[in-house]
Amino acid sequence: MQEKAARERSDKENIDQQAKMWELDKQNYDEEEKRLKERINKINKDNSSYLMNQMARKNKASAKMNNLEMAINKPLLREVNQKLKTFSNYDGVGSLKSGQ
């Protein structure tokens, strides 16, 4: 009987030790997953920031002319508009040749 009780105690100790190891593995896994998630979130935030800055630079570079630029380029714009009228059925901004 003592031998059976010792074997049962030994089996229970082994099961308890295995449960502790699994718990430790779970904690390590959770910590690694948390670290990876934080790293991915940081990378995504950096990428988002980079793309937003890129969009802002592009929008700034392709912005409409300000009043000074318009005044400086007005003669050239008139010349281009005249040439467009001559070479096409273009009558200016907002008008249609079809009469609509």
Q: Which region, left, alpha or beta, applies to residue 33 given φ > 0 means left and ψ of -120 to 50 means alpha?
A: alpha
pTM: 0.50
Handedness of CA 64, 65, 66, 67 (dihedral sign): negative
User: Do residues 97 and 91 touch, judged by C-beta distance below 8 A?
Assistant: yes
Q: Report whether pLDDT(83) > 90.
A: no
Note the pLDDT tens digit of each residue in 15-45. Answer: 999 999 999 999 999 999 999 999 999 999 9
Question: Looking at residue 64, what is its pLDDT?
Answer: 76
